[in-house]
């Protein structure tokens, strides 16, 4: 699986990394228990700072998407993925509110908005990358 970053993007690099790894898990490219590169080698391959990769891994570990083993290194959560928590729902609502508001102001109907949401969701779990 390829991870692509844009250093000039508004989204911070660590966040891009977090999103891409979660997308990889969602699409099934990364499966439960799959090993991920070590912080050092991942940073080397991308040519970015070690701390950036470390930050992304730490966040994903805290959320429960990754596990860090002493022997196996970093792996995709082999057990249950974190479920839908109240915090996540809050975050989702918060992020969607700004998008919904802009869609409404631009005159997009709620059907179209819902359709779009649905197709993005489905694309994410079937064909990765097409909704970008």
Partner 1 sequence: MLTNEPWIGFAIMYLLTTLLISVQIYFGQSNRLFGVSIPTEAEQDRVVRRVRWHYTIFVWVCAVIIAGVCFLLARQGDEELRAVCVIIAMLLQVPIMIFGIQWGRRSASRLKEQKGWHVPAETKRVAMIPIGRPRNAMLSIWWFGVHLAIIAACVVIAIVKWDQIPDTLIAHYDLNGVPDRYASKTVGEVFLTNLVQVIMLGIFVFINLVIGKARNALDPNEAEASLQRNLKFKRVNSIFIWFIALVMIVFMGLIQAMELYGLDESMLNSFGMLIPVIIVVSLLGMMIYLKRKGLDQQRDPASDDERHWRIGGGIYYNPDDPALFVPKRYGLGWTINFARPMSWVLVGCIAGIPVIIAVVSLLFGK
Nearest-approach distance from CB 115 to partner 1, in angstroms: 31
Does 104 bind partner 1 (CB under 8 A)? Our answer is no
- 2 part of the interface to partner 1, by CB under 8 A: yes
Positions 73 through 102 that interact with partner 1 (CB under 8 A) = none
Shortest Å distance, C-beta 66 to partner 1: 12
Scored b (16 or more CB within 10 A) or e, 20-46 reads bbbbbbebeebeeeeebeebeebbeeb
Closest approach of Cβ 100 to partner 1, in Å? Answer: 30
Shortest gap between Cβ of 123 and partner 1 (angstroms)?
A: 20
The sign of the torsion formed by the CA atoms of 35, 40, 44, 48 equals positive
Region binding partner 1 by CB under 8 A among candidate stretches 45-53, 77-85, 88-96, 116-124: 45-53
- Given the structure tokens 């090993």, which residue do they identify? 35
For residue 35, list its beta bridge partners. 75
Q: Interior CA angle at 43 toward 6 and 76, to 5°?
A: 95
The only residue of 19, 50, 121, 126 in contact with partner 1, by rule CB under 8 A: 50
How distant, in Å, are the alpha carbons of 88, 101, 112, 120, 122 from that of 115? 22, 16, 5, 9, 11
Residues 8-37 that bind partner 1 (CB under 8 A): 8, 24, 29-30, 34, 36-37
Q: Which residues sit at the interface with partner 1, rule CB under 8 A?
A: 1-8, 24, 29-30, 34, 36-37, 40, 42-50
């Amino acid at each position: 699986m390829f991870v692509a970053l844009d250093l000039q993007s508004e989204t911070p690099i660590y966040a891009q990394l977090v999103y891409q790894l979660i997308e990889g898990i969602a699409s099934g490219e990364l499966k439960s228990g799959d090993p991920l590169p070590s912080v050092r080698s991942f940073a080397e391959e991308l040519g970015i700072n070690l701390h950036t990769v470390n930050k992304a891994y730490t966040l994903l570990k805290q959320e429960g998407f990754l596990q860090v083993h002493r022997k196996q290194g970093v792996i995709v959560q082999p057990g249950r993925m974190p479920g839908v928590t109240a915090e996540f729902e809050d975050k989702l609502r918060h992020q969607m509110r700004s998008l919904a508001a802009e869609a409404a102001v631009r005159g997009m109907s709620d059907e179209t908005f819902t359709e779009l949401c649905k197709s993005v969701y489905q694309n994410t779990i079937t064909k990765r990358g097409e909704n970008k």
